[in-house]
A and B are shown apart, each in its own frame.
Chain A
Amino acid sequence: MTVRRTGEFTILLEGICPIAEAEVLRQLLVSTKTATVDWRACEWAHTAVIQVLLSSKVERLGQPKSAFLGKLFNAQIRVTEPGKE
């Protein structure tokens, strides 16, 4: 399990999170309304997992190990939705 709950409001992403974990993450986020995602140990996440993170706008703790992943969510990254620019 690379995606799991580690505290009442904390969901941990660690190692390489495969596609199957996208649904796990979604369910955890649904059942944890004010969750924080600790992704500091995350080496890579499949796009499906990234998509769940993006759509939930959940608060993330620290920076992931993957620089690309960090870039995707930070720095010059902007997440926009059609019609909401």
Chain B
Amino acid sequence: MNEFIEQFLLESRELVESATRDLLALERNPDDARTLDSAFRSFHTLKGGAAIVGFDAMTRAVHAAEDVLSDARAGKRRMSSMLVGECLYCLDQVIQWLETVQGSGILPTGANDSADAIVARLGAGEANFTPKPPGAGPASDDWLQKLRKKYDFVKLGANCAIRYTPDADCFFRDEDPASLLAKVEDLVAIEVEARKPWSDLDGLDPFDCNLVLTALTKCNAAEVAGVLADVRGQLELSAIDEATAGVTLVKGLTSSVRAVLRAQIELLAETEPQGARGRLASAARSAMNALRHVGSEQAGGLVGETDPSRLAAAIERILHEEPAQTSDKAAALPSPRDAAPRTLRVDTERVDRLVDLTAELLISKNAIGHTAKLALDSGSSLASRLKDQHNQLDLLIRELQKSVLGLRVLPLRQVFQRFPRLIREISVRLGRPMLLTTEGDDTEADKMIVEALYEPLLHVLRNAVDHGVEPAEQRTAQGKAPTATISLRARRQGENVIVEVEDDGRGVDVPKVREIAIRRGLATADALAAYSEAEVIELIFAPGFSTASDITDISGRGVGMDAARSAVEALGGQLSIESRENRGSIVRFVLPFSVMMTRVLTAAIGEQMFGIPLETVVETTRVARKAIVSIGASRVFVLRDKTIPVIDLAETLDYLGCQRDSATATLVILSISEQFGAIEVDRLGEGVEVMLKPMDGILSGTRGVAGATLLGDGKVLLILDVPELLS
């Protein structure tokens, strides 16, 4: 796949995400001009990108949605829920196309038909369009025309027109719009408008900003954008073309268009006779599309060119003549990416290689530690110096590990942003109004955690909306707001990341849980009678609590909360629930920030060293061998009135340890989610920090083993998968 397509895919996916977010926000607040502008820009850029790479069907489909948003901006239509749905449908199609392009580099056959269907659907929505209510403010496209009618731009020497629509709540962010505008130098005209008609002084809220500031300045757009960078999202800037005294939103070539043009020159320079005509046609089309995208009239000059060298010369001339773009409002305003610290896209494989190398380095460091210990034991004079060097290396490698693992972190936004759309769909399908709010989506966690979190989180969310949220009328009768709120929150807590799903629904139906538990044989009625409410609620995580017979369209797919808990525990995390009758539930995920670093207790069974994740170790104990008794197929012993099964590693891991005949047994007591077990070991070792590498190849399916690493003396340390051993 060529680099332009790769870049196109990358950017298109980001634009689809951003547009989806904006559309969902618009559905809640159709008159939010900023969100509307932002959605429009995403569709516009998406269309431009598709045009540059020559995906006509996609260009057409996205253009239809862009038209809808453009009309909404002009006040000709209102973004009804149905229109939002149609635009989202268009984005769904775009995602499908992107998947195909990812694999084959081209749009699928039938893309034109799909585009036609989208254009028709978006056109059919016309009947539902309602004009923007009067007084909702002038259409944003009109302001430039109004300024042109009123002012002589050339006479005033104006180079840039500014329209600054401060957010209504901007004062609460300590913004002073007039003060900010005053920082722009060489203002030659200023206009002040009320965004909506003023209230009487009696009812006026002076802290609700109702102004729209429009100005002309001699500064250029890039300078203005720099001065007003803090309020970028509230601005529209237009460069003024002095030659025509007209206003051009786009002037010059963007860097990506320049890159596309240069690539065409390179393509045309190829001398291989085979495919020459195809190369010529492709180069001409790509160059024209790119030029049209930035509104350049030079595109017409390339039509009908049949000679590759002449076409290359024509493109070269355009590159030379057209200025670098400074006045495109999108380009002139620093993008969020520009404003953020500079970032570099790196292939994840390269990062993983770095992680692997750091793990190797850690093993080498452990080996040096082992050598230092041997030197000390043998009374070598180098022992203390070796130990000092080892300590220093230890510090440096810790820092390196931290930095390397920091490269693998992703914001939870990557998962969270997939849910608003889902909740919207379920809300429509169930006819129950609900709103998903997210907090802390910039909380970061290791890539592996973030990626693996989707499935369990999806299940918990589905469960919340399906079983937790009541119908609107039931909520109203209980004095609750008819719209249910589901909150998805994340925060960092020490070495953990906490993710919570809270709903304000009915809470877990405890009597029903009891009834199901009895019916499914999870506990007897007598045993349940002794359970506290929290213990009963805990039963929803029991394997077999949810069965295929519960399948509903939304949550039940034969996979219960036990599957969600298992998935979280496999990540080294914990899943718990708090529930209050008629007030809702909170499902809490406690996840490690990084799955790669684990502190383990080392223990030997025969000659083999095992690592047991320290967070699962409750205690170590020695018991008389005769205290371990057989009950059926299991061996158990009693520790402080608690019966604990002893796990036979030889059997579980198919590992032939040694026959034990000592009078006492050394046991490591383990616990996960209130489940206890013990492993008999021959010797206990020290606690070490390891970078856990998941097993691959033929060892990847080994039951009970989560990964492996090397010890300082070169021995292999197998890290036990405690959740699996206890299950």
Residues of A within 8 A of B (CB): 19, 22-23, 25-26, 29-30, 44-52, 54-56, 66, 68-69, 71-72, 76-84
Contacts and interface: CB of A to CB of B under 8 A. Distances in A.
23 contacts: A19-B171, A23-B207, A29-B201, A30-B201, A46-B179, A47-B179, A50-B178, A50-B211, A51-B206, A51-B210, A51-B211, A52-B204, A54-B192, A55-B210, A56-B201, A68-B182, A71-B190, A72-B190, A76-B191, A78-B191, A80-B194, A82-B196, A84-B197
Nearest to A50: B178
Contact of B178 (A47, A83, A84): A47
Interface in B178-205: 178-179, 182, 187-199, 201-202, 204
Interface in B197-229: 197-199, 201-202, 204, 206-207, 209-211
Dominant SS at the A interface? helix
B138 interface: yes
B177 interface: yes
Contacts of A50: 178, 211
B190 A76 contact: yes
B178 A26 contact: no
Interface string B115-138: 000000000000000000011111
A23 B206 contact: yes
User: Which one of B177, B188, B192 has the greatest number of beta carbons of chain A within 10 Å?
Assistant: B192
Given A26-B204, A47-B179, A51-B210, 16 more contacts: A26-B201, A30-B202, A45-B178, A46-B179, A47-B176, A47-B177, A48-B209, A51-B206, A55-B198, A55-B201, A76-B188, A77-B191, A80-B193, A81-B197, A82-B135, A82-B197
Contacts of B49: none
Contacts of B211: 47, 50-51, 54
B166 interface: yes
Contact of B137 (A29, A82, A84): A82
A20 B197 CA distance: 23
A68 B193 CA distance: 16
A83 B176 contact: no
Contacts of A26: 201, 204, 206
B197 A83 contact: yes
Interface of B: 134-138, 151, 166, 171, 176-179, 182, 187-199, 201-202, 204, 206-207, 209-211
A46 to B, nearest CB: 5
A55 B192 CA distance: 11
Contact of A52 (B190, B192, B206): B206
A23 B207 CA distance: 8
Given A19-B171, A30-B202, A47-B171, A68 B137 contact: no
User: Which one of A26, A52, A72 has the greatest number of beta carbons of chain B within 10 Å?
Assistant: A72
Nearest to B184: A68
Given A47-B209, A82-B138, A82-B197, A72 B202 contact: no
B190 A77 contact: yes
B77 to A, nearest CB: 18
Contacts of A69: 178
A72 B176 CA distance: 14
Contacts of A30: 201-202
User: Which one of B197, B201, B207, B209 has the greatest number of beta carbons of chain A within 10 Å?
Assistant: B201
Contact of B189 (A44, A52, A76, A80): A76
Contacts of A78: 191-192
A11 to B, nearest CB: 13
User: Which one of B171, B187, B190 has the greatest number of beta carbons of chain A within 10 Å?
Assistant: B190
User: Which one of A23, A71, A76 has the greatest number of beta carbons of chain B within 10 Å?
Assistant: A76
A24 B134 CA distance: 32
A50 B182 CA distance: 13
Contacts of B209: 47-48, 51
Nearest to A18: B176
A76 B209 CA distance: 22
A75 to B, nearest CB: 8
B193 A19 contact: no
Given A44-B179, A47-B178, A72 B192 contact: yes
Nearest to A79: B192
A77 B214 CA distance: 10
B131 to A, nearest CB: 14
User: Which one of B137, B191, B195 has the greatest number of beta carbons of chain A within 10 Å?
Assistant: B191
B644 to A, nearest CB: 66
A25 B201 CA distance: 10
B655 to A, nearest CB: 72
B48 to A, nearest CB: 32
Contacts of B188: 76
B207 to A, nearest CB: 6
Nearest to B211: A51
A85 to B, nearest CB: 9
A27 to B, nearest CB: 9
A48 B187 CA distance: 21
A83 B135 contact: yes
A23 B102 CA distance: 58
Contact of B166 (A47, A72, A80): A47
A81 B193 contact: yes
A19 B196 contact: no
Nearest to A29: B201
Contact of B206 (A22, A72, A80, A82): A22
A22 B207 CA distance: 8
Contacts of A68: 178, 182, 187
B138 A46 contact: no
Contacts of B198: 54-55, 81
Contacts of B195: 82
Contacts of B204: 26, 52, 55
Given A26-B204, A51-B210, A51-B211, A82 B179 contact: no
Contacts of A23: 206-207
